[in-house]
Amino acid sequence: MPERTKVALVGIGKIAVDQHVPAIANSPDWELAATVSRHGSVPGVPAFTDFAAFLAERSDVPVVSLALPPVPRFAYAEAALRAGRHVMLEKPPGATLAEVHELHALAKANGLTLYTTWHSRMAHAVAPARAWLADKAIRRAHITWREDVRKWHPGQDWVFEPGGMGVFDPGINALSILTHILPAPVHLTAATLTFPENRQTPIAAALTFSGNVTADFDWRQTGPQTWDITVETDAGHLALRMGGNVLEIDGQATAGENTIMGEYPALYARMAELVATGQSEVDLAPMTHVADALTLGRRDVTEAFHF
């Protein structure tokens, strides 16, 4: 087995602990060589609280994975690229599209890898769904992405602050799958965004795209949660359920594994491949659809939301 590549993980919050750390620990490609976080750390791994100190002291670590929230992430990514490190970005890859364009240009100019990850694309049934749709004519598609924000972001007011994206925080996962499995691109033609009267970001959104593609995002669903994409084609009906983990063709389950535990190992395997081959993967399509929805959407105001 070849020597594993050292990676530093920046931002030791819930997603890092739940997903990034076990994915790295179980990978044949990677060694977690350092963490950078104000408060978090990983047992047995050198912990930095200051990113500049990490960059100065650990030139032996060629790759940085950023699991920070999007708003502060640019400064870390830029510093890492300027220090000659390859960079892997949690989703969404930034707070703005323009900053990711800048990072991409910087990575290119320095011969470094930049990878804008979309973990939901690595869900178990997404690749078979994409393969099945590749030669079909799409008649219509619909996303239903309805979950309970109180369950998934308890007390996290930042999701309703500017840049927090509101219901697009989960909705962008659906869009990352949609843009990956459809054989041709679509564009938004109309949207209705529902803002709680006391909040800065939408709690629900209804989107209409070209090609009879629609999406229904809602963060107010209690009880069973729904993460479904259905596609009608000239040769049958596809349903991708449980956030891309269960595939049904004409109502028959063909692949299914109700867990996201395979997504992050697949992201890290892909990053290893990109670094080894000197490539970047920067796909802004999901984020572009969100920006388009916030640009073109009609704004409705609904009752105040409190956690």
Site residues for a copy of itself per CB under 8 A: 74, 95-99, 101-102, 105, 162-163, 165, 185-191, 195, 200, 210, 285, 288-292, 294-299
Three-point CA angle 87, 116, 260, nearest 5°: 110
What does the alpha-carbon distance between residue 83 and residue 278 come to, in Å, rounded to a whole number?
17
The strand pair at 204-209 and 5-10 is best described as unpaired
Least spacing, CB of residue 130 vs a copy of itself, in Å: 19
Say if residues 89 and 81 touch (Cβ distance below 8 Å).
Answer: no
Least spacing, CB of residue 188 vs a copy of itself, in Å: 5
What does the alpha-carbon distance between residue 46 and residue 12 come to, in Å, rounded to a whole number?
13
Least spacing, CB of residue 200 vs a copy of itself, in Å: 6
CB nearer to a copy of itself: give 114 or 239.
114
Q: Give start and end residues of each alpha helix (H) in 84-167.
A: 97-109, 126-133, 149-152
CB nearer to a copy of itself: give 168 or 264.
168
Say if residues 193 and 294 touch (Cβ distance below 8 Å).
Answer: yes
CB nearer to a copy of itself: give 162 or 256.
162
Least spacing, CB of residue 26 vs a copy of itself, in Å: 35
Is 91 among the catalytic positions?
yes
CB nearer to a copy of itself: give 42 or 178.
178
Pick the catalytic residue: 6, 14, 91, 136?
Answer: 91
| Catalytically active residues, by annotation | 91
